Structure 1
Amino acid sequence: MNVNLYEQLQACIADSDNINNLDDETVDFLYKKKIIVEKDKDDLFLLNYQYETDRSTYSKNVLGLTIAPTLACNFSCSYCFEEHKRKISMDERTENAIISFINNHQESRELHLNWYGGEPLLAIGTIERLLDKITNGTTLKFTKHNLITNGFLVNDRVISLFKKYPLNVVQITLDGKRERHNLIRKTKADLPTYDKIIDNINRLLNEFDNTCVHVRVNIEKSNVGDYYEVANELRKMYDGKRLVVYPGFLRIDNEEKTAYSCRSMDRKDIAELMFDAVNKKVINESLYPQLFCSKTCAATRQCAYIVGPEGEVYKCWNDVGNPERVVGTIHGNKIINRTLLNKYIVGSKWYHDEACRKCFFLPICNGTCAWYVLRNKYENGKYDLCTCMQKSPGMLEKCLETYYEMNAE
């Protein structure tokens, strides 16, 4: 862009009537590229966004099911938010109720299935029986299959089962580099776990040709460097493999449980790390803002459920094991807490938040966490929920300048 056009556009920002001073060819180009738009375009855009969000929310084409076959765990992590969970496991009555529950969703055509816990691999027998029953006793097309595990219990039986029923993604968490991880993530017998988990990651990558392993590296302000060390170590070991290593930003509450504590990374810290990691190609993402439309998760989708070992139903993974957050039961398909269900599906939507509706970055925002939206809205929370990297002070300019330099070479 030459200086003259730049100054003319600045004048248009000050007074939109100055658009008449530009030649027709330039105006046509600017409209075509949506650098300038008609006055009603923003309102129409918001309506379309709301429609797309609602369409995803209320679609019944896909049944999303996260199953926690047990709330027990083989680890004794010092920070565990699951400490209040009862160590219960699923019985055959609940297994059969899950099959009936799936079959009752006659409008659904696909099944997206996640295994969760506790540690789900402690209940490998339940998982095996359920997979057999789902395959032989339901008609939904099995299109996504994921496992969330601490990665310690991978053995011959696990490998054999998931060769029979392939996984799309296995998610495993590390609490930083070896020393920190072993200090935090111990077995019940107080044994270190890092090297065993790394060995099992290696086995998963070698045994499964089409399964992607996602390694989440938990970080807070005190161990930011751990992410780079672990990511670089694993990338050297498994270069070219189906491995994604990403930072897990620990959301540590203050004592009042109304906001993040000073140990948690704030928006600027997170934005700087993400920018640096993408720029160094540690994370395979684009620095250029991308259009992102569907703003839903299991918590806000009508046809997505988390089922606990007793058949209790939750809307968010963070609620599992908390009896006050149960919204229903698969035994008889009963809704127990309609108020909480409505808060998740309706009350957490971005279009109810005037700040979101007016935000310049809405088209590239991946939404806010419904669980924290409810805490802010109904539980006196004061959490900063914005996750848009480019919204952090000065970050949009850095992203665009870097993108320009990369493409100008």
Structure 2
Amino acid sequence: MIQAPGPKGHPLHGSWREFRDDPLAFLLDGALAYGDFFRFRLGLTRCFAVSDPAAILAVFTDRDGFTDKTPSHRMQDAYPRSVARLEGGDHLERRRALAPAFQREALLARAGGAMRAVRGGLGRLRAGEPRAVLPVLEDVALRSAAMLLLGDAGGEVVESIATELPRVEAWLGHAASDEGAYQQARAALAGAIARAAERRRAAGSPAAMDLLEALVRAVDAGRMSEQDMIDEIVMMLVTHVPTAAASAWALVELARHPEVRSSLEEELDALAPEGADVERAPLLSRVVLETLRLHPPVWVLAREARREFRHGPHAVSAGDEVLVSPYVMQRLPRYWEDPEAFLPDRFDPASPGHGARPSAAFLPFGLGIRKCIGERTALLQMKLILAASLRELRFELPAGYEASVDGRRPLVPRDGAPMAVERRRAVGHVGCSPLELAFR
């Protein structure tokens, strides 16, 4: 076998310092310099960065040959019985139990309630000097996630979730130091979920399957514990963080490309979406996909080999790690013309080359057996957030602002995307939305 190419690195720590200082540039530059299968070392761990679509597909569909090694954080470790942390047969069994809640029609049935939650949350925005929009979007994404995932129960517990989950996240993300407050918030969050489950049992099944219903049925059938149910709901709600980050990037890109923004405003004004009808806005869909291409919240996916894996003349040994970066794959010139440009129309089905790209060239939600089960939820949330925002508000970047990456899990705009906000629609006196009322 031939050793794969790659940087020589330091004798002791390998390429750790270069990777630590700028992992995005390290992986992208490495793919451009060494090809679609290059080797490097992080301390004692031998790693292979893969950008060959066939190899990626092989790695992500080999259930027995690789195990998920995507770096965990304290939130995931605190709630270990979610589908994101399970392996093997347990993981597949849990996915099957949850899948009905994520079907397209089931989600769209709850889109109206989610849109109302979005508008209520966006009412916190105020006109004036540029301020970070990311914190508001995080609250909006959390509230809409509660409505999409928990259905009618979401409306009952959304205030508890919006209050307690950020406190839990702050402690587990090392942004807070009061352990007593963390334990109190964690217990309150668990209590709100447990009460929602009891009310659901008493009320009976909803018309459209939601996550709470799927979990209650699994608990009552003895397939999981009450704590498993709480872990699952908390970890599903945590996905509001990458959804908010991607929504912030979309507003940044639209501010930098006013011609796209103007066309999207026209589309949304004509459609006047109130929920599920956001699915009938083709440019909105293309803007969402192009944002996720340029700014995937999860920038790397890692797998550890359990046995030897061969890629042409190169071999990965058991214990080696394989890294696949959506950020890299979605910026490679061989798959994307003018890859650094924001061009939503590249996702138009009629555009040249749209159907020719391999599936692994676009993987913001992963690929294969561990692909994000909440993909449809996140896409719908982004459409709802952008539709509600852009119909009534206009976002402008401050002069001189460079929207570089700040933070690495997920990738977020620097300084929380400071933007000036102004109303773009006239306020009527009857039937004003929370966004309109906030600007009166």
Using structure 1 for the length normalisation, give the TM-score: 0.24
Larger radius of gyration: 1
With CA pairs under 8 Å and 6+ residues apart, which has the higher RCO, 1 or 2?
A: 2
Using structure 2 for the length normalisation, give the TM-score: 0.23
